[in-house]
Structure 1
Amino acid sequence: MTGSDPHVWERLEPAWHAAFALFVLVTAALVVTNPDAPTVAGTALLAVIGLVHALLAPPAMRDAPSRLGAAYLAVTVPATVALFALTPVGSVMLFVLFPMVWRLLGTRAAVVVTVGLVAAVTAIGMLLSGAAPGPGYLALYGGAALSAVLLGLWITSIAAQSDRRAALLAELERTRCELAAAHREAGALAERERMARDIHDTLAQGFTSLTLLVRAAAGEIDRDPAAARRHLDLAERTARENLAETRALVRAAPPAPPAGDPLPVALSRLVARCGEAMRAGAVGGGADGSEADRSGAAGAGATLDTAGWDPPGPGRCTPEREIALLRIAQEALANVRRHAAASAVAVTLRRAEGGTRLEIRDDGRGFDPAAERDGRFGVNGMHGRATELGGTLTVLSAPGAGCRVIAWIPDTAPDAPGTEARAPQETAPEAADPPETASRETAEPAGGHP
């Protein structure tokens, strides 16, 4: 029998060997107690059968079909036929010999051996009885051979089904392991991407600000000590904020807005820092810590308008969403400072369509959103933060016409029960706005450069 299920046979093998030994002992008892049976010859044949089974059957069953199994049957089949020729009680051993034939041989070989074994036993029975061959014996032989073959084929089919089931289970286990490995890899990649985005949006920008603030202070230390001290104070505040961000990343906790302030207050700090940088003429300047009015200036050249902002109800705009909006504003304002050459930037925060709408608008050099650019990690990060929370990110710009970055994030996830997040439709820019060259949900850098 080919391809046997190792789990089934290994589990049943001890019981099978015990049953085989029991049949040998029972046959030996019948031979000894039968006065017509040749006791010495019968017990000798049974001893040979038992010894060969003990030595060859276990390894032959574990590696069937094999030459070892053929050698086993080459001894036990003739010995059993000879035992039957000596005494009819030898037929008891046929009950355990036929299963061994089908266990140790392939299907075709097992059919041949089975038919031959039944023919030999039938012929010996006819000779011992002295009866002439007739239809009755032929019917008996044919029925016995057919029954033995059908029984063997049935056992083989059961074992083959076990093979297929074992192969399927093994394949399912391999697939499960592969999926688990893929999930672990995907999780690791997502975590690395999250860490890279957080580092870019927080630590990297903070270090850039520190470098530029120290450079500005070094240039003014002789001609304007007061301005140099102001820049150094801002550099110290930036370093402290970076230290807090670093500790949050080490703890794997989501970074909180500066000083744990509400979103409008945290934005006012961010806009004030941008305005201070624009006043000082130092790209990447720091904040002075002042808070802006709800619709007033937060620093020369940078304004914050929160007149359309009404805090949502409890549990609606979660801290995770506020942090995402704050990071988008942080990246957009950093691009304005680095690339736009703008004289003014306006940040607007308001409620819209069951969510929060944040717009960063500058009057800088602008750009063509359709143009290919390299190094768009920050912009992709803004886009990722918005879309991960079910929101959108839209960029409207044209060369020489400034830029608008518009982010909208719903208060609840799109798949939350009883809710349906719907992004507000951005209208065409007015005459004073940059010409409409937009790419919705395809983030482009604020201020005209990646």
Structure 2
Amino acid sequence: MNPSVGPVQGDAPFWSRSLSRWNAVCWVLFGAMAIGLVALDRPDGSKYTALALLGCVVVCYAALDRFPDNPVVRPHLYLSVLVLALGGLAFNRSSYAALFMVTLPHYWMFGRTRRVSMAFLGLAAGATLLGSWLRQGWSGEFFGETLVSTLIVVAVGVLIGLWAHSVVAESQERARLIEELERTQVQLSEAHQRQGAADERERLARDIHDTLAQGFASIVVLSEAAQGALDTDTERSRKQLRSIENTARENLAEARELVGSAQQSGQVAAGTVAQTLRRTLDRFTEDTGIPVDAELADITCDQQTRIALLRCTQESLANIRKHAGASAVGVVLARQPGGVELEVTDDGRGFVVGTSPGFGLDGMRKRLAELGGELTVTSSVGDGTRILAMIPTEVSA
């Protein structure tokens, strides 16, 4: 069955159950009308005419109910037959009022649009009044009973139909909004997935820069130094080769962590922050010969903070090694009321803040920002550089 406004998505089970129940009620009422017509004991053939008209309505209704998608079985054809049957029953004076009441919702179910439904309802009212007038003439019965009752039935039908249309329209609008919301949720989920993938790529790029790239850069520098000292200082070359081996091993371990587990990548060795930074500073001095004056407070903090402090230290030392040309480095790790601070200074050539094209400083800022911290860079040409990293966190000695 194809109602004028079909069931909306999400409300389909409700409409399906409602239409099925109404079909059952219609068949019961059609059967009751047929029994009533058969029970009439009229000497003329009016009851057979009434049964024939009712049979035409029932056959058309059954075909429409059985083949709702058949192009031959048109809803408007059924409504047209219904209008003619009502006029014939009214002229025959046989149960036209009962049929009118039973089929009243059909004009709205099969009319497809509000205007068509109203038109067929008006034609049905006109057909019943015409049939009654042809039978009764301008009598008091026609004006006192037939006209008034027919107009009341039509008015009730119009009110019920308009109300049903408004309910269905609201259901359709609600279904449209739900569909838009679901589509928006899907798009938002896809955007979150894309953003998550982009964030993960950025995190991996930052970790690779802070670990593998710095290690390979250190290997290149040490290799060049060892090659230059092979003929003049073999002991120094031997130390540099050991440093190359250790750096390569560390890079291999870092690479395995990055590949093996994204959640555990970038983990640092056990121990306090001071112990971890001390090992890094000793390696820096061993590789470069630049002395480091370190004041490292014995601070205990969470793993993410330890990693951030270590990566900031490694990046600062890498920049000093590659760009600063420094003769001394200072590193201070201190506990402050609002968290923990790491300061790295050098007496190198310095630079103009804001003009550095490298990835390192930007990566340090983003890493600290993820923990609610911030990075402050102070430098000028010829006056060295000061890097201050602050992470607000609960720390304890």
Structure 1: gaps of 5 or more residues: 280-299, 414-450
User: For the structure 1 residues 77 and 24, does the alpha-carbon distance in structure 2 shift closer, same or farther, using more than 3 Å as the test?
Assistant: same
Asked if 1:382 corresponds to 2:389, the answer is no
* 1:257 and 1:326 in contact (8 A); partners too: no
In structure 2, distance between residues paired with 1:136 and 1:15: 32
What's 1:172 paired with?
181
In structure 1, distance between residues paired with 2:216 and 2:74: 75
What's 1:311 paired with?
299
Matches within 5 A, 1:140-219: 140-219=149-228
Asked if 1:273 corresponds to 2:255, the answer is no
* 1:77 and 1:97 in contact (8 A); partners too: no
Q: Secondary structure of 1:404's match?
A: strand
Asked if 1:347 corresponds to 2:331, the answer is yes
Q: Secondary structure of 1:120's match?
A: helix
* 2:281 and 2:292 in contact (8 A); partners too: yes
Q: Secondary structure of 1:242's match?
A: helix
What's 1:51 paired with?
59
Q: How big is the shift at 1:378?
A: 1.8
What's 2:39 paired with?
33
What's 1:401 paired with?
383
TM-score, structure 1 normalization: 0.77
Cα shift readout 1:232-269 (whole Å, capped 9, x = no counterpart):
21122112212222222221233465432321111111
User: For the structure 1 residues 61 and 35, does the alpha-carbon distance in structure 2 shift closer, same or farther, using more than 3 Å as the test?
Assistant: farther
Q: How big is the shift at 1:331?
A: 1.0
Amino acid at match of 2:305: R
Amino acid at match of 2:299: P
In structure 1, distance between residues paired with 2:381 and 2:73: 84
User: For the structure 1 residues 363 and 83, does the alpha-carbon distance in structure 2 shift closer, same or farther, using more than 3 Å as the test?
Assistant: same
For the aligned residue pairs, the C-alpha RMSD in angstroms reads 2.9
Q: Secondary structure of 1:171's match?
A: helix
Q: Please, which of 411, 418, 427 is the counterpart of residue 393 of structure 2? A: 411
Q: Secondary structure of 2:95's match?
A: helix
* 1:270 and 1:330 in contact (8 A); partners too: yes
Q: How big is the shift at 1:113?
A: 1.9
Give the percent of matched residue pairs that are identical in Structure 1 and Structure 2.
Answer: 36
Cα shift readout 1:328-386 (whole Å, capped 9, x = no counterpart):
11111111111111111111111112311101101111111143x43x32211100111
* 1:255 and 1:323 in contact (8 A); partners too: no
Q: How big is the shift at 1:231?
A: 1.7
* 1:3 and 1:163 in contact (8 A); partners too: no
Matches within 5 A, 1:50-449: 50-57=58-65, 68-105=74-111, 106-129=113-136, 131-132=139-140, 133-134=142-143, 137-249=146-258, 250-255=260-265, 258-279=268-289, 300-306=290-296, 309-312=297-300, 317-371=301-355, 373-374=356-357, 376-412=358-394
Q: Please, which of 2, 24, 27 is the counterpart of residue 30 of structure 2? A: 24
**Greater mean alpha carbon deviation, residues 100-109 or residues 121-130:** 121-130
Amino acid at match of 1:311: I
Amino acid at match of 2:380: A
* 1:369 and 1:397 in contact (8 A); partners too: yes
* 1:81 and 1:120 in contact (8 A); partners too: yes
Q: Secondary structure of 2:381's match?
A: coil
In structure 1, distance between residues paired with 2:183 and 2:372: 35
Q: Secondary structure of 2:391's match?
A: strand
User: For the structure 1 residues 188 and 58, does the alpha-carbon distance in structure 2 shift closer, same or farther, using more than 3 Å as the test?
Assistant: farther
Instruction: Answer 1 or 2: which has greater helix percent.
Output: 2
In structure 1, distance between residues paired with 2:145 and 2:34: 31
In structure 2, distance between residues paired with 1:230 and 1:122: 115
User: For the structure 1 residues 191 and 80, does the alpha-carbon distance in structure 2 shift closer, same or farther, using more than 3 Å as the test?
Assistant: farther
What's 2:18 paired with?
12
In structure 2, distance between residues paired with 1:214 and 1:270: 19
TM-score, structure 2 normalization: 0.86
In structure 1, distance between residues paired with 2:315 and 2:261: 23
In structure 1, distance between residues paired with 2:245 and 2:77: 89
Q: How big is the shift at 1:60?
A: 5.4
In structure 1, distance between residues paired with 2:264 and 2:345: 27
* 1:49 and 1:75 in contact (8 A); partners too: yes
Q: Secondary structure of 2:103's match?
A: helix
User: For the structure 1 residues 86 and 412, does the alpha-carbon distance in structure 2 shift closer, same or farther, using more than 3 Å as the test?
Assistant: farther
Q: Secondary structure of 2:74's match?
A: helix
Q: Secondary structure of 1:188's match?
A: helix
In structure 1, distance between residues paired with 2:360 and 2:232: 36
**Greater mean alpha carbon deviation, residues 153-162 or residues 82-91:** 82-91
In structure 1, distance between residues paired with 2:143 and 2:18: 42
* 1:61 and 1:104 in contact (8 A); partners too: no
Amino acid at match of 1:54: A
User: For the structure 1 residues 67 and 169, does the alpha-carbon distance in structure 2 shift closer, same or farther, using more than 3 Å as the test?
Assistant: farther
Q: How big is the shift at 1:144?
A: 2.8
**Greater mean alpha carbon deviation, residues 92-101 or residues 144-153:** 92-101
In structure 2, distance between residues paired with 1:93 and 1:137: 14
